[in-house]
Structure 1
């Protein structure tokens, strides 16, 4: 039996897991991400992998696949971590370095949003379906899959954070990302320490100022999802990432708002294709593992 090592390397935490070949998680762990030294970050990834194997009594020679999701710009074909804004890798030959440790393993790296999208695609049993994954957390991005292949475009496909909203100076990310919502809440209520968590508590409690802020974000998100529906007509759109995962009420709010826009008989009911993430915060790990499963 071959085993799979998967990693989701983020700016805050480095999550790793050891999978059996059938997709069952044997061991998983999280450690803080190294933020200043690229070599130290790589060594912490290797040490985390090794520790998982030791705890599960699995030899490194039994690892059939290693798959790593990372933020930022990734040269998938050449296996290079080109640029990660919140990580210290610059033109880092990640696949080559991993192959030195796991010479007999299939090795895959990709952008973390693509990994998470694949996890949601695979867990639904999709093979040929069209699919879109929208992630909302520190930023907002989208990954599309058509007939089992990623739509990468010329390299920037899915960067919906740059989508324009009301003016040429107002982007979607500037209105709906976690930090943007926090900043707007602090300004409106005059509290410089307000957090998104406490904002959402106020939202559920019916605080009119906070409800107005969140509703504005929901409207902007719903318009973007509507455009995705119209442009590519996917079989399923998953809303994931930290903000949606922690607040499923927002998924329902976006679905309901999109439904208001779908008045034409050809479009009615398509809002039911909007779903919450199944894998939640572990979508990146499950997606990474699925990329190298036989």
Structure 2
């Protein structure tokens, strides 16, 4: 039996899973990430990999593939972590370093949003279809896949968080990300301790200020999705990331708002192409696995739960 190690490394947590090549998640682990020391972060990751191998009774030579999702800029061809805003790696040669330990493994490194998008794409059994994955959590970004190929542009495709949303030159990220909505709530309620969780609780209770804050975000997101529909007309637009995964009501709110924008006969009803994430917080891990494998056994069949690694928002 051959095995794959899949990883989703972020500024908050580091998640690693061991998969058999036939699509079974054998085991997984989640560690608090390291944000100050690059070597400590690397050792944290390799120790987590070794931990899973030891638990499964495997030598490093049994690992035939390692697939890693990272935030920020990644040199996919060379396997270099070029720049991660919330990690202490700068031009870090992670593929080269891992090759010294796992000499039998093919190593793939990519942006974490691309990995999650690939997970959602393969989970839907897509092959020739087009899909856009939009993630909303600490930041906002997206990945487009057309005919089984990533749309990378010149290297920065999908950075929709930098999009301008008003005459004040405010960006989408400063208006609708989790921290942005939290900052608005702190100002609206004159409460520096207000969390996004508190805002969502008040939103569900139909508190006027919370409804206003979330409605602004929903409108901005719906307009971005509308632009995506007009530009690419994808078969599916998946809304994922911590905020959407933990608050599916927001997915429905964006879909409802979008319905008002697509009344033209050519586009009427296309709001139904908006879907929630199927893999939730594990999309990055499964996407990393799918870069090697092609099938996924049902978690009930595996006898294991899906491990949702969501942010607390």
Same fold (TM over 0.5): yes
Give the distance between the partners of 2:255 and 2:23, measured in 1 at CA.
31
Q: How does 1:51-62 map to 2 (within 5 A)?
A: 51-62=51-62
Aligned to 2:220: 220
Q: How does 1:1-294 map to 2 (within 5 A)?
A: 1-293=1-293
CA deviation vs aligned residue, 1:54-103 (integer Å, no higher than 9, x gap): 11112211111100001111000111100111111000001111111111
Shift in Å at residue 33 of structure 1?
A: 0.8
CA deviation vs aligned residue, 1:230-284 (integer Å, no higher than 9, x gap): 1000000000000000000000000111111001111011111100001101111
Shift in Å at residue 167 of structure 1?
A: 1.6
> Any gaps of 5 or more consecutive residues in structure 1?
none
Q: Contact between 1:238 and 1:277, CA under 8 Å: does it hold in 2?
A: yes
Q: Aligned pairs, how many?
A: 294
Give the distance between the partners of 2:284 and 2:101, measured in 1 at CA.
22
| Alignment RMSD (CA, Å) | 0.8
Shift in Å at residue 168 of structure 1?
A: 4.8
Aligned to 2:308: none
Q: Contact between 1:219 and 1:254, CA under 8 Å: does it hold in 2?
A: yes
Give the distance between the partners of 2:107 and 2:206, measured in 1 at CA.
49
CA deviation vs aligned residue, 1:91-137 (integer Å, no higher than 9, x gap): 00011111111111111000000000000001000111111000000
Give the distance between the partners of 1:189 and 1:43, measured in 2 at CA.
43
CA deviation vs aligned residue, 1:136-190 (integer Å, no higher than 9, x gap): 0000001000111100000110100011111252111111000000000110111
Q: Flag as ranges the 4+ runs of structure 1 deviating above 3 A.
A: none
SS of 1:261's partner is: coil
Shift in Å at residue 22 of structure 1?
A: 1.8
Give the distance between the partners of 1:48 and 1:167, measured in 2 at CA.
47
Give the distance between the partners of 2:96 and 2:174, measured in 1 at CA.
37
Aligned to 2:298: none
The more displaced of 216-225 and 28-37 is: 28-37
Q: Contact between 1:74 and 1:111, CA under 8 Å: does it hold in 2?
A: yes
Give the distance between the partners of 1:23 and 1:57, measured in 2 at CA.
18
Give the distance between the partners of 2:66 and 2:167, measured in 1 at CA.
44
> Any gaps of 5 or more consecutive residues in structure 2?
295-313
TM-score, with structure 1 as normaliser: 0.99
